[in-house]
Amino acid sequence: MTDGTTTALMRKAYARWAPIYDLVYDKLTEPAARAAVNAAVACGPRVLEAGVGTGLSLGYYPSHAEVYGVDLSEDMLRRAQEKVEKRGLTHVKSLQVMDVTRLGFPDESFDAVTAQFIITLVPEPETALAEFARVLKPGVVAMRIFMFASQAKEDLHAFASDETGSKLPAKYAPWGLTGTLSSREAPPHKFSRRVIEQAITTEGFQLWRMKKA
pLDDT the model gives residue 12: 67
Average confidence (pLDDT) over 89-94: 98
Number of domains present in the structure of the chain? 1
Highest mean pLDDT out of 22-31, 86-95, 143-152, 177-186: 86-95
Average confidence (pLDDT) over 24-50: 82
pLDDT surpasses 90 at 109: yes
Local confidence band at 5 (pLDDT 50, 70, 90 cut-offs): low
In whole angstroms, give the CA distance from residue 171 to residue 189. 27
pLDDT the model gives residue 3: 57
pLDDT the model gives residue 9: 62
pLDDT the model gives residue 181: 39
pLDDT the model gives residue 65: 97
**Residue 8, domain CATH:** 3.40.50.150
The domain of 46 spans: 3-211
pLDDT the model gives residue 94: 97
Average confidence (pLDDT) over 120-132: 80
pLDDT in tens, 127-179: 888 898 889 887 666 655 443 333 334 444 444 344 334 443 433 333 333 33
What Cα–Cα distance (Å) separates residue 77 from each residue in 31, 55, 82, 164, 169?
22, 7, 9, 23, 26
- What does pTM read for this prediction? 0.65
Helix (H) or strand (E) holding 76: helix 74-87
pLDDT in tens, 64-77: 999 999 998 888 89
Average pLDDT, the chain: 68
Helix (H) or strand (E) holding 200: helix 197-202
Q: What DSSP state is assigned to residue 191?
A: E
